[in-house]
Structure 1
């Protein structure tokens, strides 16, 4: 019996070695799966995504664009960056939940005013290849935007399809600043009363802002590629300081009182003129009757018409005594 013990020990050692080898193989396979697992991306109906190739041991390089409403499976280690293809709104007002605060500007007559509003635009998601100098961008304007701006600000959309904080931060640099400049420049062509009280002047100012905005945005973003387009803007009525508004109210009240006094004076003058016209007509009628009846005849008729007796008794014909 004692002679068989070494044989058993030798067999157990071999089994342990096999078990260890199996465990090592499993661990290696699991580790490989971590590196060879495919990457996936899914775009919504209002998204366009950029696909960048790059495994665990290779550099990142642009692959292709992913159109809206698509799901793709790419190589292990690849990356995907989605951007909105639908309209973007940049809202600026006093609400803390807005994209930006009120914008102030100075009018031609030196009054500082504040305005709220919204500007709408589209991100240029074109993936048509472009050549800028010696650099070719097979992913077009969207690839160039991502590599120059979007990636720096982490402006691409979140995994759940929302616009990120980086996107909003990017807008404050590349949209808000040009918008502020456009509003300020256009405002210098108008007085504060024109913008505050004249709807036509306010509409003209809004149009001036819209005409200047795209060029200022392009200048901010580089200019060689138009990253934003299809701008529209809506500006609320700009507000002057409260002291100016109070002065305008007093001025309008004074004007209203002056107009009321002027209207009352005009009414009195019209009434007087009407009375004069009546009296002139009456005098003309009297003259015509005098021509027909004579002066004494008219006076007698006047007395009769007014209940008087023009034929009073005379003592010259009375019998005053008897003989």
Structure 2
């Protein structure tokens, strides 16, 4: 049965309305995607850089966001967070990189673990230059809200902190022998100080411009370790020295004991001489015998009375 003309026209009109509504919905959704605001929330040890980057706006720096701040900005804007507290770059087992090796003045390769601490300069103008020159290139900004650095941050540090650190450790290490660094804590402390003194200049040489992107360096170095073969030889040498010193001490003690005995004997001889001077030699001998439980008055045949005439 054919559809009445009035119903057919109404159905067509409804389809057109539905199509227009769907189109309007898509357009509204698209508008919302473009116009919804962006937000940033910095932690107590974070700052952020705010850049405009909307569909209809050029990418341009806007402002810096202070620590512990939540802000809403224009649609499509970008925020890049960086640490404002001290950062540690750990080298060694389970660190951000492996141990650092260097060569001493006597040609021995040693290895050392430790920590290089520093601050990222978060002055707004300086941080913006750091981001434009370095941070954005390595994606070194924070990608989590827990304050940990991103993989890009570690890649950046491997260039701008790790390499100067290797140079500083190696240069300072060439001033000392391996035995001095391994056995003398005062030498090790001086070496650590020399490494720290070189860090700002070595880091600054890799950065274009006059800005100091990294500041407030601190270095903590563990006891440097020579190769196992060298360490074993050093231990054997130390044991040999210890044994030699023990023998020297024993010999010195024996000499002192002998000297003391001589002094005792001299004193005894002087005492005997004085008694002989008082008692005479025979008197001293008799007194000596009495003192030692002997009888100095033994009978003699010359003292016996015989009667040969009877």
Corresponding pairs, count: 307
Superposition deviation, residue 249 in structure 1: 1.3
Question: Residue deviations 1:293-315, cap 9 Å, x none?
Answer: 22222223223333333333343
1:301 and 1:84 mapped to 2: Cα distance?
98
Does 12-21 or 184-193 show the bigger shift? 12-21
Query: Helix, strand or coil: the match of 1:221?
Result: coil
Given the superposition, is the C-alpha separation of residues 6 and 311 from structure 1 closer, same or farther in structure 2, using an over 3 Å criterion? closer
Given the superposition, is the C-alpha separation of residues 253 and 16 from structure 1 closer, same or farther in structure 2, using an over 3 Å criterion? closer
- 2:105–2:175 contact (8 Å) kept in structure 1: yes
Gaps spanning 5+ residues in structure 1: where?
A: 128-139
Identify the residue that residue 88 of structure 1 maps to in structure 2. Answer: 87
The reply on whether 1:185 has 2:171 as its aligned counterpart is yes
The reply on whether 1:259 has 2:258 as its aligned counterpart is no
Question: Residue deviations 1:234-257, cap 9 Å, x none?
Answer: 100000111111111111111121
- 2:138–2:153 contact (8 Å) kept in structure 1: yes
Given the superposition, is the C-alpha separation of residues 280 and 11 from structure 1 closer, same or farther in structure 2, using an over 3 Å criterion? closer
| 1:1-323 alignment, distance < 5 Å | 5-6=4-5, 9-95=8-94, 98-127=95-124, 140-161=125-146, 162-317=148-303, 318-323=305-310
2:74 and 2:228 mapped to 1: Cα distance?
62
2:250 and 2:149 mapped to 1: Cα distance?
63
Query: Helix, strand or coil: the match of 1:73?
Result: strand
- 2:105–2:173 contact (8 Å) kept in structure 1: yes
1:246 and 1:221 mapped to 2: Cα distance?
43
Superposition deviation, residue 150 in structure 1: 0.6
2:100 and 2:254 mapped to 1: Cα distance?
51
1:23 and 1:259 mapped to 2: Cα distance?
97
1:15 and 1:302 mapped to 2: Cα distance?
149
2:9 and 2:301 mapped to 1: Cα distance?
183
Given the superposition, is the C-alpha separation of residues 21 and 290 from structure 1 closer, same or farther in structure 2, using an over 3 Å criterion? closer
Question: Residue deviations 1:273-294, cap 9 Å, x none?
Answer: 2221122111111211121122
- 2:90–2:97 contact (8 Å) kept in structure 1: yes
Given the superposition, is the C-alpha separation of residues 266 and 57 from structure 1 closer, same or farther in structure 2, using an over 3 Å criterion? same
- 2:49–2:64 contact (8 Å) kept in structure 1: yes
RMSD: 2.0
Given the superposition, is the C-alpha separation of residues 290 and 79 from structure 1 closer, same or farther in structure 2, using an over 3 Å criterion? same
- TM-score, normalised to structure 2, is 0.92
Superposition deviation, residue 159 in structure 1: 4.5
Superposition deviation, residue 15 in structure 1: 4.5
2:163 and 2:278 mapped to 1: Cα distance?
92
Gaps spanning 5+ residues in structure 2: where?
A: none
2:208 and 2:307 mapped to 1: Cα distance?
131
- 2:164–2:199 contact (8 Å) kept in structure 1: yes
Question: Residue deviations 1:192-231, cap 9 Å, x none?
Answer: 1111000111011111111111111111223511111111
Does 154-163 or 108-117 show the bigger shift? 154-163
Superposition deviation, residue 58 in structure 1: 3.0
2:154 and 2:308 mapped to 1: Cα distance?
129
1:159 and 1:209 mapped to 2: Cα distance?
33
